[in-house]
Amino acid sequence: MEYIFTDQNFDQEVLKSELPVLVDFYAEWCGPCRIMAPVVEEIAQEMEGKIKVGKLNVDENEQLAARYGVMSIPTLILFKKGEPVKTMLGFRSKEEVLAEIK
Amino acid sequence: MLYDTIIIGSGLAGLTASIYASRYQLSNLIIGKLPGGTITLAHKVENFPGFPGVSGLELAQRVIMHAKSLGAEILPEHVSNLTVVEPNGGTPYHFKLVTESGKEFLAKTIIATTGTERRKLGVPGEKEYLGRGVSYCTSCDAPFFKGKTIAVIGGSDAAVTGAIHLAGFAAKVYLIYRKDVLRAEPTWREQAEANPKIEIIYRTNVIEILGDGQKVVGVKLDNLYQNSEVLPLDGVFIEIGGVPVSSFLVPVGVNLDENGYVQVNQKMETNVRGLFAAGDFTTQGLVLQQAITAAAQGAIAAASAFRYVKSQKAAKLQSI
């Protein structure tokens, strides 16, 4: 299942998560993000129970995008124990993302 | 399974090739990483017949749906290896493809449509500040620069339309171009010149992207601009065209021109029999790198593949 992260639930769901969390920073107007979306959904299903996967709308959550220096989307950030440990910029295939987060 | 044709690349050329191939009843598979290809990055397409003012993404999605409705399968992967195999001691030979995840496929013909990838400026700071002020996608990243000062480097349609799009968000947009006259369509040029937020700096190259360790703070120019070689900025968009993604065709012997574009004739045939190419990364595509011409070349390539498969069948029947 894919989560939806926001300014409100980010602390609880991402920073305090026991599992690593993959956050997809996206926006409705971004073409490559819309192509990326089904890839992220597949990763969410495949990694169920191992990694938490969700998306974060940068228009509705500008503070978080700014806090993590996101100035280009799509951007995927992997969080472990509250810290961003890996950032992936631009469109990636499922295999590429899985190789990066494993 | 042996496909009649495998299409490598999923942009407008490849998708259109699939539409035609399906209607010729050629079994076909599309292998391409970014469904829709380069056009998905265009925020507006004003010259595709029948679709005035469509976004590049919407146009791409319509073509993807069209291809799928005729039975196209799209595998979102890279091809990591392409070879020729000879099942019957020579004729007809087949093509074997291996994808990055190790899947293998066989095909009677190949239609290569992998297009171009973005050309890098190749200056200090470009790599370091990618995603931290340096961007190659105006339609993706414009809203991060609301009220900011930014520059677009380039003079093509993509650069000038990108600058116009960015001016909807930023406070100030510099368009930095190395020549005297922008090479974009006159209608775009006039719009950029008339836009009060856009300032065009001609005959100037960016030689370094400057940052403060966190993000972009400016660029260094090779010509003084308002008595300074440094132009303070919050972001830099690089729109200086593409380079052909063609190196995977070299091992099977496809002829490229000196810049790496695939040499094709009017039938979109390469020098390798059974291997066709279409779109931006071919010598034909270079004439006009547009969605409409890529689609047209994809159609021609599929027709040529159809004739080739038919002629191989006829030859096989004669030899029995």
* A67-78 per-position pLDDT tens digit: 998 988 999 999
* CB atoms inside a 10 Å sphere around CB B160: 28
The first and second tokens of residue B212, run together, are: 């403060």
Average pLDDT of every residue of chain A: 91
- In this prediction, what percent of chain B has a pLDDT beyond 70? 98
- Cβ–Cβ < 8 Å for A8, A52: no
Please say if the pLDDT value at position B160 is more than 90.
yes
Please say if the pLDDT value at position A22 is more than 70.
yes
The first and second tokens of residue B210, run together, are: 């400057």
Q: Tell me which of A30-39, A80-89, B92-101 is least confident.
A: A30-39
β-strands B104-112, B206-211: how paired? unpaired
**What is the model's pLDDT at position B181?**
93
Instruction: Report the greatest alpha carbon distance in chain A.
Output: 32
Interface probe for B, chosen from A25, A35, A42 (most Cβ of B below 10 Å), is A35
Query: pLDDT band at residue B296, thresholds of 50, 70 and 90?
Result: very high
Catalytic, B234? Answer: no
Please say if the pLDDT value at position B90 is more than 60.
no
Please say if the pLDDT value at position B156 is more than 70.
yes
B259-285 per-position pLDDT tens digit:
999 999 999 999 999 999 999 999 998
| B17: three-class secondary structure by DSSP | helix
Region B16-23: what's the mean pLDDT? 98
Please say if the pLDDT value at position B92 is more than 70.
no
**What is the model's pLDDT at position A16?**
95
Catalytic residue, chosen from B4, B141, B234, B280, is B141
Average pLDDT of every residue of chain B: 93
Residue contact A91–B78, C-beta within 8 A: no
Q: Tell me which of A61-70, B39-48, B71-80 is least confident.
A: B39-48
| B84: three-class secondary structure by DSSP | strand
Residue contact B40–A39, C-beta within 8 A: no
Residue contact B57–A75, C-beta within 8 A: no
> Residues of chain B whose C-beta is under 8 A from some C-beta in A?
33-36, 40-41, 55-57, 60, 76-78, 100-101, 130-133, 135, 137, 139-141, 143-145, 214-215, 235
B172-229 per-position pLDDT tens digit:
999 999 999 999 999 999 999 999 999 999 999 999 999 999 899 999 999 999 999 9
Catalytic, B137? Answer: yes
Please say if the pLDDT value at position A88 is more than 80.
yes
Region B143-147: what's the mean pLDDT? 92
Please say if the pLDDT value at position B162 is more than 60.
yes
**What is the model's pLDDT at position B16?**
98
